[in-house]
Chains A and B, each alone.
Chain A
Amino acid sequence: MKLPEQVTRLGIVIAAIVAVVLLLRLVILPETLFSARPHQAAAVEREMAKPLRHAGVAVCRECHAEQFELKYGGKHRNIGCENCHGPAASHAADENAAKPPLPREREACLACHGYDSSRPNGFPQVDPLEHRPRKKCVSCHDPHDPVPPKVPTECTGCHGRIERTKAMSTHALLPCASCHAVDERHMTEPRLALPTKPDSREVCGRCHVPGATDPAASKVTVDLTAHGGTYVCWECHYAHLPEGRK
């Protein structure tokens, strides 16, 4: 079959377009435009060449060995210098160019040590309104070796919140030691010598079994053999506020 005239014309136009595209693709435009790989390699290099803002502890240590050693021996041993002093790469490059700040306000410490119920148990926190309000933290605590200015003598020195909770409860008059055995070392190395918790039901039973002879015996009594299965009491009852929980 002979091709009609219009098909030839259309064919020429299409062929011309295809030819231009092929010419651009294969001859005029360089091959590198059609592969993402070299661009990605260049991007990786640009990324690696970006300037540092934080110098890193190792660099700080080169000049500030004394502070580093002090910090390294204390509770803040694992905290990078730039956590408190801010990004210091420019200072490391030229010590006069930029002086890192020396934060002395309470907020600087409270960012970590202000009480927040979502923080993990055992993390040292203070209620900013009750713990020496308006006094600068650094006037009593050395941030590079933060220890309490004197060894606390009362449990409330650190466990004020529990003490205040207990004070509102029916257990208000019970001293901490009636349930917890506290080693001397706990005062200086709190995490290394943790106080005990009652490991048997009899500790509560002293007051809470019917006919208990303890002078503080409670009216709330329970048959230890029938109640609670094998659990220790504090696994269900919060002893610092027993009426507060189901």
Chain B
Amino acid sequence: MNKREFLKDAILFFPAAATLQALAPAAEGKAEPAKTPADYDATKHWYGMGIDVDKCIGCNRCVEACKAENDVPDEPFFFRTWIERYQIHENGETRVECISTRAALPEQAPPEDPTVVRTFFVPKLCNQCAHPPCVQVCPVGATFQTQDGVVLVDEKRCIGCRYCIQACPYGARYLNPRTKTADKCTFCYHRVTEGLLPACVEVCPTEARIFGDLKGKADRLVRFHRVNQISVLKPDLNTEPKVLYAQLDGEVR
């Protein structure tokens, strides 16, 4: 961007930004959408997702739906969500594979391995941490947590330094090759703020994914949280994930 373009953008931007700032109430480091649909109040929500590992059948529909809903590049290097297959063997060895990077379904059922003692699928996505390390490291404040607890990236301000990708312990971020900015799961923010489910939850055939609002009184996620034994990924890193796993095997990292 040259100086003239920059100034032009800047001049167009300032009146709008000034209006926004005037409307925005003081919030503690949280972004405040000032001009939201009249019926949406971000402060009333705190989104999370429950994942029932026992229900995931590894059909990969969530991954396809996510890519379609969010314009994620088709190439198998960029994922906002993906599915891992775990196979734990008699000798304690654990083999993991990401089934979402496969080009096509296998023609035949994979051969039964008698040395496998436990095997299951685990869906992964951005954990929408309450204490997100990616937000902490962004040098320009282009990635931030919304008031309803979703970590977003401002693709107009991200400088593409990729520090956030390094800081994410879950590999949930990638550099979008088209925008050259960091990209990640948004919990389908454009859907959930309209009361719809995230695309992955919408298409999940076995309800292995439960989307919900941890501030809701009679919310499915709150119930999920109450009736299941919940684990989160890498709890030792103190990121406080809001993606809650039920029946999670200790081998999953």
Direct contact of A and B (CB under 8 A): yes
Residues of A within 8 A of B (CB): 30, 32-33, 35-54, 56-57, 76, 78-80, 82-83, 86-87, 107, 110-112, 114-120, 123, 127-129, 244
Contact B197 A56 (CB under 8 A): yes
Contact B152 A35 (CB under 8 A): no
Any A CB within 8 A of the CB of B253: no
Any A CB within 8 A of the CB of B131: no
The interface residues of chain A lying within 8 Å CB-to-CB of B203 are 54, 80, 82-83
Distance between B202 CB and nearest chain A CB, rounded to angstroms: 5
The interface residues of chain B lying within 8 Å CB-to-CB of A42 are 16-17, 20, 154, 156
The interface residues of chain B lying within 8 Å CB-to-CB of A87 are 65, 68-69, 199
The interface residues of chain B lying within 8 Å CB-to-CB of A35 are 21
Any A CB within 8 A of the CB of B191: yes
* Chain-A contact segment, one of B31-39, B170-178, B211-219, B236-244: B31-39
With A44-B146, A112-B205 known as contacts, the answer to whether A117 contacts B119 (CB < 8 A) is: yes
The interface residues of chain A lying within 8 Å CB-to-CB of B112 are 117
Any A CB within 8 A of the CB of B109: yes
With A33-B10, A83-B205, A118-B58 known as contacts, the answer to whether A43 contacts B31 (CB < 8 A) is: yes
Residues of B within 8 A of A (CB): 10, 13-14, 16-18, 20-21, 24, 31-37, 40, 42, 54-61, 65, 68-70, 85-87, 105, 107-110, 112-114, 116, 119-121, 140-142, 144, 146, 152-157, 186, 189-191, 193-194, 196-197, 199, 202-207
The interface residues of chain A lying within 8 Å CB-to-CB of B85 are 118
Distance between B173 CB and nearest chain A CB, rounded to angstroms: 16
Contact A41 B57 (CB under 8 A): no
Contact B108 A41 (CB under 8 A): no
